[in-house]
Chains A and B, each alone.
Chain A
């Protein structure tokens, strides 16, 4: 255990923590937009699975990872649009329709995987890009500045999302749609349009999150490759108090604990690996129970908007 406090190990854990946070960042930031506007999309995991599959398959067959990424984004966008139709226009119960979307994505990605690929194949994904100068700093360079492009983009997304949500008119409209849609509606905000926009964009980001797994981090596709990561991403939005910076904090915390437990497993330290794997989930429950008390959810979250009510 004392070995933990050596530089190579500590920075190794930081390196994998930063990497592991990538899919959560994409998915949770997308989801925080949709939740900020009042729609809980619980189907993120299903969208991620479809994104991971299409990203991998298109990337593999076309030979272009970028084309794969684009395919994943479009798939995610379409599934987000489907969720928007169901939850906004058809006014369906959001928790349940999310479960439906998750089952659909799990089933379809597995079906397509078995029919088109048969078994798990690996490809060489996005290569690491060392940032000049910074990347040469001992330890720090390796841990922070030697990742692939999708990892960097994920972190760039945080300030962008923060700016859009808090400093633009669009962001104001999104938050108004989530806090008080009736009032926003009377002021001329098109609630339906806003929610379609956020849920579709959330889907797009979930698609990219899936692709980040299959063509940038793990570099293969297998049945249920996310194993529930999409649900964690939804939890991280609550954890982060519906703020991109909070989501960043949550994703990092979750991923560092995960990187730490992976290290424990590799080292064969005398904790059963199952308890190590359990740690991040237990931590998330505790965090949801005790840390998120002060922030309140968007008032209209999961509530169906009916024009002219109240």
Chain B
């Protein structure tokens, strides 16, 4: 009897865990209906998406390259969310991280790799941390809603980047040629991340992100600071009663969230573009939220989620080439996925309650 009960329990739990996974096929079905309206065969479109994302070595490596910043931003979102803070500022935090990394790497072109690479990353992490820390402190000290302040910080970071890339950080070669494209100089080779597979884009940033995912898991579930962050997120009143300085941990979780997005910025400039560009963040700040959410706000769950959505981003572009469907379809599907995932929660909690009342 007991065994049967356990088996049922396990089945229930598996069902709850798998439920949000339905969000993606559902979103894809709605996307397919949209395509039908415009007389595009959804099967051809989705096949080219799948082929583009996972069908070749080049596609697969690009998918992992895209998944890397998604995972790093997503980890930051996980930490903040576990602390009860919604971090929408990933975009801005990533940008300032990338700017700081660029400024440091370009500023010290002759330092050996052993010194300059850690410095570059540290700078980016600090910059992202500050960009997340400001809304964090505003929230804890002055009660400013973090959703709003992080959105404002995104806009400010974007302008800061526009200014720096046209002014102090602009590639001197751009001025010489008179082309004036808003981008920084090429970073010294000493900070370029190692290629993992020759002739592809895949770089060691992917390994950094994976290691970070494990570290964040250990941090949140195996350390006392992580425990307190989660306690504050679960029930701030109870945490306060237990003597945990709630506001401190809220600010901390947002600062850490920013630090991870900043790290993502450093990984992008040192691993992919090797210079700071306009539009480098490419919406990672938002798609990272989707990845984290789809991974049930668990650092390890965010790994497959990031690969899935990285695949969407890569496949979306090949879909655009193959069947002329604008890649904006991917944003639409991402948005729908979020809506379905958050809507699915009610079924899990409803089933949990029914199980409780049935004994």
Q: Is the interface of B mostly helix, strand, loop or mixed?
A: helix
Q: Would you call B138 an interface residue if the criterion is a C-beta within 8 Å of the partner chain's C-beta atoms?
A: yes
Please, which residue of chain B has its CB at the minimum distance from the CB of A231? B151
Q: Which of A93, A106, A111, A277 contacts B342 (CB 8 A)?
A: A93
Is the CB–CB distance between B88 and A111 below 8 Å? no
Q: Is the interface of A mostly helix, strand, loop or mixed?
A: helix
Given known A107-B328, A285-B152, contact A290–B335 (CB-CB < 8 A): no
Q: Would you call B331 an interface residue if the criterion is a C-beta within 8 Å of the partner chain's C-beta atoms?
A: yes
Q: Which stretch in A95-103, A124-132, A151-159, A171-179 binds the other chain?
A: A95-103
Is the CB–CB distance between B345 and A235 below 8 Å? no
Complex alpha-carbon distance, A96 and B78, angstroms: 13
* B290 neighbours in A (Cβ, 8 Å): 103
Is the CB–CB distance between B342 and A97 below 8 Å? yes
* B149 neighbours in A (Cβ, 8 Å): 285, 288
Q: Which stretch in A84-92, A195-203, A212-220 binds the other chain?
A: A84-92
Is the CB–CB distance between B138 and A289 below 8 Å? yes
Please, which residue of chain B has its CB at the minimum distance from the CB of A114? B326
CB distance from A287 to the nearest CB of B (A): 10
How many contacts A-B (CB < 8 Å)? Answer: 141
CB distance from A181 to the nearest CB of B (A): 17
* A91 neighbours in B (Cβ, 8 Å): 345-346
* A111 neighbours in B (Cβ, 8 Å): 34, 326, 328-329, 331-332
Q: Would you call A275 an interface residue if the criterion is a C-beta within 8 Å of the partner chain's C-beta atoms?
A: yes
Interface set, chain A 172-231, CB cutoff 8 A to B: 223, 228, 231
Interface set, chain A 224-252, CB cutoff 8 A to B: 228, 231-232, 234-235, 238
Q: Would you call B56 an interface residue if the criterion is a C-beta within 8 Å of the partner chain's C-beta atoms?
A: no
Interface set, chain B 331-355, CB cutoff 8 A to A: 331-339, 341-343, 345-346
CB distance from B154 to the nearest CB of A (A): 8
Is the CB–CB distance between A115 and B346 below 8 Å? no
CB distance from A84 to the nearest CB of B (A): 12
Please, which residue of chain B has its CB at the minimum distance from the CB of A106? B331
Interface residues contributed by chain A, number (CB under 8 Å): 46
Q: Would you call B54 an interface residue if the criterion is a C-beta within 8 Å of the partner chain's C-beta atoms?
A: no
CB distance from A54 to the nearest CB of B (A): 15
Q: Would you call B218 an interface residue if the criterion is a C-beta within 8 Å of the partner chain's C-beta atoms?
A: no
Q: Would you call A110 an interface residue if the criterion is a C-beta within 8 Å of the partner chain's C-beta atoms?
A: yes
Please, which residue of chain A has its CB at the minimum distance from the CB of B331? A107
Is the CB–CB distance between A278 and B328 below 8 Å? no
Q: Would you call A263 an interface residue if the criterion is a C-beta within 8 Å of the partner chain's C-beta atoms?
A: no
Is the CB–CB distance between B331 and A282 below 8 Å? no
Is the CB–CB distance between B147 and A95 below 8 Å? yes
Complex alpha-carbon distance, A290 and B142, angstroms: 8
Complex alpha-carbon distance, A142 and B86, angstroms: 44
Given known A42-B147, A103-B335, contact A281–B152 (CB-CB < 8 A): yes
Q: Which stretch in B157-165, B224-232, B233-241, B258-266 binds the other chain?
A: B157-165
Is the CB–CB distance between A96 and B342 below 8 Å? yes
Sampled A-B contacts (15; CB under 8 Å): A96-B289, A97-B338, A97-B343, A99-B286, A100-B339, A103-B332, A103-B338, A104-B331, A104-B339, A106-B328, A107-B330, A107-B335, A111-B34, A272-B163, A281-B155
Apart from A106-B335, A107-B332, list 18 A-B contacts with CB within 8 A: A40-B147, A82-B339, A86-B343, A97-B338, A97-B339, A100-B335, A104-B332, A104-B335, A104-B338, A107-B330, A107-B334, A107-B335, A108-B34, A111-B326, A115-B38, A272-B167, A278-B155, A278-B160
Cβ-closest 4 pairs across A and B = A107-B331, A104-B335, A100-B338, A103-B335
B-side residues, CB < 8 A to A, are: 34, 38, 86, 88, 138, 142-145, 147-149, 151-156, 159-160, 162-163, 166-167, 286, 289-290, 293, 326, 328-339, 341-343, 345-346
